[in-house]
Homo-oligomer: A and B are copies of this chain.
Amino acid sequence: MEKGTTPITRESGALHATAFLRLDSSGNVLRSPCELCTARDYSVCRHITGKDFEQLFPHGPHVQIRKAGTTIFLQGEPFGSVFIVQNGWLLVHKLFEDGRRQIIRFVLPGDLIGFEGNEVEGMSYSAEAITDVALCGIRYSLFFKTCAASPQLAMNFATTVTREALAAWNHVGALGQQRAQGRVANLLLDLHHRVVARCGTEPAAIQLPINQIHIASATGLTSVHVCRTLKQMRQVGLLEFRKGQLVLLDTERLAEIAQLDPAVPLDGLQKMN
């Protein structure tokens, strides 16, 4: 996480800010620093707000630290706690019989995790810490009770989940209709946006704690093919990605490949293997 020095006004920040814009009585956007992550403006954060946070933990937050690689919950387990991530990255994935896995989403500081299931069937997915993480947990029963007593918290929860659903639907679109470059572009752009929204500046390079294997299981490709795809994208000057360091070189074109239709050859981009 990097510290911000200027207020966030770029669209990359606004992308995720939308759902948390708060208006004061005269209709102006309320801005205040976030208590949960380092963002200067909590409207850019992707999480239940600091106020909700106080409500959930009236006697102060109960933070727990987990080492990188730790399993937070396993699919099939009983429905337990909801966590707010204070620090570090996690991933949620679905495990298959033969050991393959589909990464469902990456979870960044400020995000909520642990609602991936229900009381009857238990957790539908597993979660794992990618880096060391600091989690702020609350029993689901208490969380639910607190929500039921506070429409504001309940609506913030609903908004958070809606945002996750939108992200998931986007993911469905990418996996269903796009080829390797499009899927990778989608993922990296999304992560880039989410990371940049947390720093005040737009750094040339950002650090992602993931490797090609992560990219592979998130995009439904093999790591071998992710390697080839990244090579292509590097060669045509789209981006750099080495040791988790990501540099977007041609954001325009990347956005085209990600949002529009990458299956139609974009004049000479393809075929450079």
Contact = CB atoms under 8 A, between A and B. Distances in A.
Instruction: Categorize the interface residue count of chain A.
Output: 35 or more
A171 B170 contact: no
Given A124-B166, A172-B168, A261-B96, A150 B147 contact: no
Contacts of A98: 261, 263-264
B158 A154 contact: yes
A219 B177 CA distance: 9
Given A98-B264, A120-B14, A166-B117, A104 B220 contact: no
Contact of A18 (B104, B115, B118): B118
A175 B103 CA distance: 12
Interface in A71-120: 92, 94, 96-98, 100-102, 104-105, 115-120
Nearest to A119: B18
Interface string A208-223: 0000000001111000
Interface centre among A19, A116, A117, A165 (most CB of B within 10 A): A165
A1 to B, nearest CB: 25
Q: Copies of this chain, how many?
A: 2
Contact of A151 (B124, B151, B171): B151
Interface string A238-273: 000000000000000000000011011000000000
A27 interface: no
B151 A158 contact: no
Contact of A104 (B118, B157, B164, B173): B173
Interface string A144-164: 100111111011011001111
A interface: dominant SS: helix
Interface string A1-42: 000000000000010001101000000000000000000000
Nearest to A117: B166
A169 interface: yes
Interface string A120-140: 110011000000000000000
Contacts of A58: none
Contact of A152 (B124, B148, B165): B148
Contacts of A162: 115, 118, 161
**6 smallest beta-carbon distances between A and B, as pairs:** A176-B220, A154-B154, A168-B168, A175-B175, A18-B120, A158-B158
15 contacts: A14-B120, A92-B169, A96-B261, A100-B261, A102-B172, A102-B173, A115-B162, A118-B162, A147-B151, A151-B154, A154-B157, A168-B172, A171-B172, A172-B175, A175-B176
Given A94-B169, A171-B172, 4 more contacts: A92-B169, A105-B169, A157-B158, A161-B165
